[in-house]
Amino acid sequence: MKALVYQGSNDVRVENVPEPTLQQDDDIVLRVTSTAICGSDLHLYRGSMPATEPGDIFGHEFMGIVEEAGSAVTSVKKGDRVVVPFVIACGSCFFCQHSLYAACETTNPNEGAALNKKSIPAPAALFGFSHMYGGIPGGQAEYVRVPNANAGPYAIPDGLDDEQVLFMSDILPTGYQAVLNAGVKTGSSLAIFGAGPVGLMSAACARMEGAEQIIMIDNQQYRLDFAKKAYGVETLNFDQVEDVAEAIIQLSEGRRGVDAVIDAVGYEAKGHGGKMPAMNNFEVESSDIALHQCLAAVRRGGSISIPGVYAGAVNGFLIGDFFDKGLTMKGGQTHVHDYLPTLMEAIDQGRLKPEAIISHRMKLDQAAEGYRMFDAKEDDCRKIVLTP
């Protein structure tokens, strides 16, 4: 079968690889009908995610038809059409029982991966996302093996087409969780850093939850223009303002700062050139990290929500400001499974139209070109859907 395979930094190719087979009784093999390229795939593509090896198959946003089901699979059967969460969870361990599916302690054999080398279990395995996250082959392929199939795959009603529901695999629940973590409610004001797919899904979900003022920050004007049109947000192009946090404060009611901020950028942020409104005379490093601006732009008692991926340490984080403002901060991988019924209902009722952000449709064969374009933000690229 054909699959998108990593060769090395900025080098992915569609190649012929062996078809996956059932390995456990509760596996299914899925025939992929649609798959997408995620901003998280770009960390892998750029070679900036550890434990990514030549030969790895990428792809964690996908859906399709059950081709084969193991003997212990009871929740779906051959021929069912399902969307698959990018997080692989068992559904029954301590964390899964607490609806913390991304912390499932049974699916990733690594120990304490990415943590400070303490002996706690690693977080859940993810599809196509490095050996740190379990080394499970991804779904940018004609077929994919889905482990723990009684917990993950979510059946889709016939009336909805692939594009309407595909993003339930990742970016839609990620935007939704970001909004819940930000404590957004009717009347809230919110700044969203990053107008990529995750930022856009956050804007859509924030509108659904009744946010009144949404300010989006990016330097890709075409993405900001889209967000303005689709979600009625105010926009700030960080190449055109001297100090982003200050600009947000000026736009906020009473110049207090916004109720909440979402960092939908993460560790691969591009420079703002904005000044850090530092309280103390710290030498602040990595001032381009959006998190610094989030901290500066949020009002006292507000919330910082971080769906953007971080790794390691960020120098110069003003913990003193965090304390002084009495903030709440929450982040992490998305507990996808927990949100699917709510999001399915919202799509079904037309309250969410995630497919609106798709800008490019390509065949799986063209996936390498898709990665290049999405990374370069060429041709006003917002989101690419691939079909095998």
Number of Cβ within 10 Å of residue 369's Cβ equals: 14
Q: Is 198 in the site for ligand NAD (CB under 6 A)?
A: yes
Q: Residue 116 contacts by C-beta under 8 Å, 6 or more apart in sequence?
A: none
Structure-token pair, residue 131: 């050996």
Q: Is 104 in the site for Zn ion (CB under 5 A)?
A: yes
Helix (H) or strand (E) segment spanning residue 199? helix 197-208
Chosen residue from 123, 152, 197, 257 binding ligand NAD by CB under 6 A: 197
Q: Is 272 in the site for ligand NAD (CB under 6 A)?
A: yes
Q: Is 179 in the site for ligand NAD (CB under 6 A)?
A: no
Nearest distance from C-beta of residue 225 to ligand NAD, angstroms: 12
Residue 263 interface partner, choices Zn ion, ligand NAD, none, CB cut-off 5-8 Å depending on type: none
Selected range binding ligand NAD among 25-33, 63-71, 262-270, 276-284, rule: CB under 6 A: 262-270
Nearer to ligand NAD, 299 or 335 (CB): 335
Residue type, 242: E
73: nearest Cα among 117, 115, 27: 27
Selected range binding ligand NAD among 20-28, 68-76, 168-176, 181-189, rule: CB under 6 A: 168-176
Classify the C-alpha dihedral 201-207-211-216 as positive or negative. Answer: positive
Give Cα separations from 241 to 68, 105, 236, 260, 367 (angstroms): 54, 44, 7, 20, 35
Q: Is 238 in the site for ligand NAD (CB under 6 A)?
A: yes
Selected range binding Zn ion among 19-27, 42-50, 65-73, 96-104, rule: CB under 5 A: 96-104
Lay out the site mask for Zn ion across 111-130 (x = CB under 5 A, - = otherwise).
Answer: --------------------
Q: Which of residues 149-178 bind Zn ion (CB under 5 A)?
A: 170
Q: Is 152 in the site for ligand NAD (CB under 6 A)?
A: no
Q: Residue 11 contacts by C-beta under 8 Å, 6 or more apart in sequence?
A: none
Q: Residue 176 contacts by C-beta under 8 Å, 6 or more apart in sequence?
A: 201, 205, 339, 342, 343
Q: Is 90 in the site for Zn ion (CB under 5 A)?
A: yes
User: How many CA atoms within 13 Å lie on the side-chain side of 370?
Assistant: 27
- Classified as helix, coil or strand, 208 is helix
Q: Residue 262 contacts by C-beta under 8 Å, 6 or more apart in sequence?
A: 178, 179, 182, 190, 191, 192, 193, 199, 202, 294, 305, 306, 307
Q: Is 223 in the site for ligand NAD (CB under 6 A)?
A: yes
Nearest distance from C-beta of residue 106 to Zn ion, angstroms: 5
Nearest distance from C-beta of residue 28 to ligand NAD, angstroms: 23
Q: Is 93 in the site for Zn ion (CB under 5 A)?
A: yes
Number of Cβ within 10 Å of residue 349's Cβ equals: 8
Residues in binding contact with ligand NAD, number by CB under 6 A: 34
Q: Is 199 in the site for ligand NAD (CB under 6 A)?
A: yes
Q: Is 270 in the site for ligand NAD (CB under 6 A)?
A: yes
Chosen residue from 130, 140, 169, 220 binding ligand NAD by CB under 6 A: 220
Number of Cβ within 10 Å of residue 245's Cβ equals: 24
Q: Is 202 in the site for ligand NAD (CB under 6 A)?
A: no
Residue 96 interface partner, choices Zn ion, ligand NAD, none, CB cut-off 5-8 Å depending on type: Zn ion
Selected range binding Zn ion among 85-93, 235-243, 285-293, 349-357, rule: CB under 5 A: 85-93
Nearest distance from C-beta of residue 9 to ligand NAD, angstroms: 16
Q: Residue 372 contacts by C-beta under 8 Å, 6 or more apart in sequence?
A: 10, 378
Q: Is 103 in the site for ligand NAD (CB under 6 A)?
A: no
289: nearest Cα among 245, 340, 232: 245
Nearest distance from C-beta of residue 332 to ligand NAD, angstroms: 6
Q: Which residues bind ligand NAD (CB under 6 A)?
A: 38-40, 42-43, 170-171, 174, 193-199, 217-220, 223, 238, 264-266, 269-270, 272, 288, 290, 307-309, 333-334
